[in-house]
Amino acid sequence: MKILVLCHEFPPVGGGGGRVARDIAIGLAKRGHEIRILTDRLDGLPAEETLESGVRIERIPARRREAFQAEFAEMARYDLAAFQTGLKIIRAWKPDVIHAHFAVPAGAAAFALSKLTKTPYLLTAHLGDVPGAVPDKTDRWFKLIYPLTPQIWKGAKRVAAVSEYTRQMALKHYNVSIDVIHNGVELSALPARQPAPEGVPRIIFAARFVAHKNPADLVEALSRVAHLSWNCVMSGDGEQLEAVRGLVEQCGLSNRIHLPGWVTPEQVLEQFAASDILVLPSRSEGLSVVGVQGLAMGLALVLSEAGGNPELVQPGENGFLFPPGDVAALTAALESLLTAPEKLAAFQARSREMAQAFALEKIVSQYEKTLETVIEQAAAHSKK
């Protein structure tokens, strides 16, 4: 297959959705499919790049300013640039199918390109592109664009959601058939785990420092278990980073909570290898890529009940769930693990077992089959 991938985020730009797009593209390329990706340009990154897998990346000008977030105007500019560049690529390269990650903005460009060129598209929804799913981030956008978005979903030959929660949220707004294809992780490529020095439990948070990721609650919870032995790394960048840094200092935890800022996906995995407990206190979540990675790395998971997080946790077996914003429940979960080494070890072993369901090879196979179905359906429709 020749597959044109549209995604406004692609590592090192963006968060989990971009990493999913990259992993799926590389996985498909390794199976002999031709992949070209149109993504956002950011200062310091090459306009064009070919990965070792053969995946070709073209970064188009949308005047994006930050790696960790995209403004509405930047996404609108991405749509325009993706349509213009995508049209040239389709006419010259003739892809069999378009794979759009995120209904907004990539889905809009895919819809327009499909209408003009008759190239079918698969739409993958990651949660932030679903109305009402991340209210503080996207509600104002959907007030402007919702009258247009149903056509994007209906125009896709197939729609996939990264979690059952994302699927259910989308079905409240769009009367289309939606499959669930989870985010995956390449288990064989994970770094080896590093033993904890002197048995001190190691906690990690890896996410954007933005409101819906809720990093401040972790600092508050850790301040309540300061009498216990632990250290913590909080990796990521975003508008709340300096506020969190100030809170860490205010709580007197600067020597125990480390804030390295933005790190590469490879560095995140190295940090996971040196960690024991992953904490995600998110207020909204599709299916967290770092959650899947933490599962695969054998970490005990302490996650909020938001979004797709419950699909990664069997409470009392590999971790705990707590209501978003409930610092007392988060504190209790941490205390339970920090004071019981045997329980922590058992939770870690169970996470490694559960990770097999999220093996990247299985996920790539699901996407490969779905993309082939999209092409077949489009061919059958054209013969009518």
DSSP 214-250: -THHHHHHHHHTTTS--EEEEE--STTHHHHHHHHHH
Question: What pLDDT does residue 188 have?
Answer: 87
Question: Would the pTM count as exceeding 0.85?
Answer: no
CA distance 290 to 19: 10
Domains located in the chain, CATH noted? 2-184+359-382 (3.40.50.2000), 187-358 (3.40.50.2000)
Q: pLDDT of the chain along its 384 residues, tens only?
A: 999 999 999 998 888 889 999 999 999 999 999 999 999 999 999 999 999 999 999 999 988 888 777 788 898 899 999 999 999 999 999 999 999 999 999 999 999 999 999 999 999 999 888 887 666 555 566 666 777 899 999 999 999 999 999 999 999 999 999 999 999 999 988 898 887 777 899 999 999 999 989 999 999 999 999 999 999 999 999 999 999 999 999 999 999 999 999 888 889 999 999 999 999 999 988 888 899 999 999 999 999 999 899 999 999 999 999 999 999 999 999 999 999 999 999 999 999 999 999 999 999 999 999 999 999 999 988 776
Return the H-helix or E-strand segment holding 346: helix 341-354
Angle between helices 241-250 and 216-224 (to 10 degrees): 10
| pLDDT score at 67 | 78
Closest CA to 291 of 112, 162, 170: 162
Tokens at 170, concatenated: 């989308």
Question: Which of 77, 9, 13, 70 shows the shortest CA–CA distance to 45?
Answer: 13
What secondary structure letter does DSSP report for 105?
I
Contact 111, 140 (CB under 8 A): no
Given the structure tokens 């409101």, which residue do they identify?
Answer: 211
Query: Which pLDDT value is given to residue 209?
Result: 95
